[in-house]
Structure 1
């Protein structure tokens, strides 16, 4: 029995099948509609074959959905003429993952932005200033209480210097075991740190392939103001970003990259649909050596043609548009980018000769800690330098980020135990420091830096 013939050309080998009809999904709130089979456009063949754009299936959808119609300029597909098209077939070993050359996006300034979003561009623009805030009242200043500082004993110091020598390459542990401690001077390094957790908001136009369905556009309501959109951080004092689609800002436009075709020129074969055979380099023959004889044989890879079908496009010369993913239209909307930034500034007070930066990376004892929307500077601590620098840092953070909203502040004053040790070893004196709860050691002039005390490597 003969099979009925289709009026559409058959899909080329290696290409996706052509979808002749489609089935509508029933959505809540929409009436019953029968699915109508539709014939694909002439160019929906080969690698460019794809599902037809969804059709409207309800009254609400009818208002927002514009039926897709191919224009005359794009009906025959994109033009593959130009200086960038090679005269000969490209080599088969070209980069198969080469991305297509995307066209520039449309002028964002031509979009009708909702009130308050006129400055939205193609990328996240300048931060939008938050509402003004009132500084805390002096009457709300909390009481400040401080805890004491810990010290180390001689055995802890001895264990620390022995462990230090044992971890160093070629250091002898004998000096650490036999050195005599002449003086131990305990002190405490102070590390003050202020964290200001801020929120910054900016907007930009973004797009997604439009696969059909209702559109939340300006007809659905007025877009809310930037700082009226509810958003909260995942975690306080942790830098991260959040992206939110602003309601009632969507609109549908033809894809700028493929001009509504749904496909673009193949970047591997440059639209020719074929590549030069890599086995014979386009000659169609290969030289075969066997038992001292040389024969010229037909290339087994291309069967003598010297050409092969492009594996990227299946010989079609075009691939699905990566911007609209073959749906020919884009849904443009305004995206809100919320940046949560933890701004950290600190001050170290350490009266000994131990390098101050070593205090920052070890643990100690919390002397004072406070977390408030707006903290008050430390003003009653026994070390004047801490009071002065706390006031300086807190005041600077009050107005350091005028385009951001200050969400929370946290200040911590830590006391890091430090013991300066003066010792004698073989009639020579020296000193080292033990610091932090980890009992780290800073001893740049350790007396036995080579094994067994030798001085020649």
Structure 2
């Protein structure tokens, strides 16, 4: 803790020095466009994915899934953009404990380091982490009145207490996510729960906006995300690392015929998850459908 710090700043997030972020971001890795192929969906794959989905539902009969006639497979692609910003904030506050004649690491041993100069072991990137640690040379011994009323009573209750300046370091991963527009009767939030084919990766202390991706919505999302994250964190915390990725999420729209009627379901993600708009053999068996 900088011993010249204003007492009013205790208990607040302290911004890092202005030049710290610039020094950390001087070295950069080049963004990578990855080779990929759009997974091909066959009738057998679509049927097997649907059977697995139906068998996982206690209120679905599997006869329709086994006897359906697939009429059409429409393969579609959706792009998912993500920006992750791993940032660190530091908070300074006093802690108190009874004084027991132990050695006091106070200003007599030297000046306290600035909050952001204290070395702390780095956790794995993009994983939330909170640590508390002592600030060297910040301890003091002071008198304070604990309880009681009246000067005589107060004098008896006075104790010597050791004040030690401490700080907390909190590292959190903030995620911005955007999925490109699609004309599907499909809940968009489901796409956040599956894997896609990686097509682009950029990881640096600070990343630059994407400006030349073939899907303009993705480039605009990258520009907006980086602007929002940098504005939110550069004045109150230190950005340790940013990572932006683009994934291609395969979606297959399956039209099928059963008992003279047409139905529809979707197979999506590399895991071949299924979302069914309707199913001809749904029964109530006292279970909860999720």
The alpha carbon displacement at 1:450 in A equals 2.5
Which 5+ residue runs of structure 2 have no aligned equivalent?
Answer: 149-158, 285-290
The alpha carbon displacement at 1:216 in A equals 0.9
Q: Map 1:7-406; keep pairs closer than 5 Å.
A: 114-121=3-10, 124-125=11-12, 127-132=13-18, 133-134=21-22, 142-148=30-36, 149-254=38-143, 256-257=145-146, 329-353=160-184, 354-401=186-233, 402-406=235-239
The alpha carbon displacement at 1:142 in A equals 3.0
TM-score norm. by structure 1 comes to 0.55
DSSP 3-state at the match of 2:172: strand
Answer whether contact 1:194 1:394 (CA < 8 A) is retained: yes
TM-score norm. by structure 2 comes to 0.84
What is the rounded CA distance, in whole Å, between the counterparts of 2:9 and 2:165 in structure 1? 8
For structure 1, which segment, 436-445 or 175-184, has the greater mean C-alpha deviation from structure 2 after superposition? 436-445
* Distance verdict in 2 for CA 1:143–1:234, change over 3 Å: closer
* Distance verdict in 2 for CA 1:218–1:173, change over 3 Å: same
What is the rounded CA distance, in whole Å, between the counterparts of 1:114 and 1:420 in structure 2? 65
DSSP 3-state at the match of 2:100: coil
The alpha carbon displacement at 1:205 in A equals 0.8
DSSP 3-state at the match of 1:134: helix
**Greater C-alpha Rg:** 1
Answer whether contact 1:144 1:380 (CA < 8 A) is retained: no
Which structure has greater helix proportion?
2
Which structure has greater strand proportion?
2
What is the rounded CA distance, in whole Å, between the counterparts of 1:415 and 1:421 in structure 2? 19
Answer whether contact 1:188 1:350 (CA < 8 A) is retained: no
The alpha carbon displacement at 1:414 in A equals 1.5
Answer whether contact 1:144 1:378 (CA < 8 A) is retained: no
Answer whether contact 1:223 1:247 (CA < 8 A) is retained: yes
Answer whether contact 1:233 1:340 (CA < 8 A) is retained: no
CA deviation vs aligned residue, 1:28-63 (integer Å, no higher than 9, x gap) = xxxxxxxxxxxxxxxxxxxxxxxxxxxxxxxxxxxx
Equivalenced residue count is 268
Q: Aligned-pair RMSD on alpha carbons?
A: 2.5
The alpha carbon displacement at 1:143 in A equals 5.0
* Distance verdict in 2 for CA 1:114–1:418, change over 3 Å: same
What is the rounded CA distance, in whole Å, between the counterparts of 1:131 and 1:117 in structure 2? 16
Answer whether contact 2:32 2:201 (CA < 8 A) is retained: no
The alpha carbon displacement at 1:134 in A equals 3.5
CA deviation vs aligned residue, 1:160-184 (integer Å, no higher than 9, x gap) = 1111111112211111111111110
Q: Which has the higher contact order (CA 8 A, sep 6+)?
A: 2
Which 5+ residue runs of structure 1 have no aligned equivalent?
Answer: 1-112, 260-327, 452-457
**Alignment equivalent of 1:413, drawn from 242, 246, 249:** 246
- Residue in 2 aligned with 1:422? 255
* Distance verdict in 2 for CA 1:226–1:158, change over 3 Å: same
* Distance verdict in 2 for CA 1:395–1:147, change over 3 Å: farther
- Residue in 2 aligned with 1:441? 274
What is the rounded CA distance, in whole Å, between the counterparts of 1:188 and 1:245 in structure 2? 52
